[in-house]
Amino acid sequence: MKKISVYGARYCDIVLYLARTLQNLNYRVLICDRSISKQMRSFIPVFEEFDLSRQVFDYGGFGYTYANAGFNGKLEEYYPAMVAEAAGETPGMSRSRESAFERMIKAAGDDEDEESFNFLIVLNDASAALADFWNENEEESSVRLFITDEYPENIYEMRSVLRAINRNSGEGCMKLAGNKMLVVRDYTGTARIIIEELTKLAGASKSFLIPWSRKDRRLEMMAAYNDGFRFIGASDRLLALIEELCASAGIDTGSFEYRRAYINAGKGKRI
């Protein structure tokens, strides 16, 4: 199982598009939200009655939870949440038959040698990184994505994240395994000097400076306001980031299967 660690702010739409692309490639994906702010809750309409500290919420075929998962992709004790999949049904309603997500989890659990999830996407923010329970000494992440924009509060939050990681990991981000990328959304160059500092703190091998785009901003907002998400018309730079994330996770992005999964994810479709 591969782990993708995400840090910072304004990552939710990118994570959703990445998760859908991976799911369309027949990978089992779990999003584990370790952040304090829980930004993703604005994008995934989880009902209050679900205990996400123990349950996994099925959001269109991939899982979302607060519970911590080990590197083997399995949670200690949890119950897959019942989520309606048919058109016209309300997400979160219990039904007599099992959801496809529950059947998937049980099928994976039947074989002890088979992992429950292929990809674990872990969400973090500065508040979590500064908390006593947070520990980033783990070295198993395949990809580490640091994402911010040029708004002062988000810039300073990212700097807090990186400084916390550097304190906790002893030798800083350079010690941590995985491909490290720094992303700055709505880039204008105003905060160029501090962004250069962040790039060094992150030990990033690549930086994605994504200029402000009306379409990107609109798609980000639509993903939050709608129970679903589409990325048709996203900027080339944002789409290149998704492809780079997949490539860094070991996926052949030149294959027909990837292009089909990627295009359908952009249309909001599941294969």
Output the pLDDT for position 135.
58
Q: Considering only 7-16, 86-95, 198-207, which range has the smallest mean pLDDT? A: 86-95
> How much of the chain, in percent, has pLDDT values that exceed 90?
39
Q: Which two tokens stand for residue 207?
A: 């930086």
Query: What is this structure's pTM?
Result: 0.82
Output the pLDDT for position 84.
36
Neighbours of 157 (CB within 10 A): 20
Gap between the Cα atoms of 265 and 255, Å rounded: 15
**Mean pLDDT of the region 45-63:** 82
Contact, 107 vs 100, CB < 8 A? no
Output the pLDDT for position 59.
86
pLDDT at 257 over 90: yes
Contact, 78 vs 56, CB < 8 A? yes
Mean pLDDT score across all residues of the chain: 79
Helix axes 12-24, 256-266, angle to 10 degrees: 130
Give the helix/strand (H/E) hosting 117.
none
pLDDT in tens, 135-156: 555 556 788 899 999 999 999 8
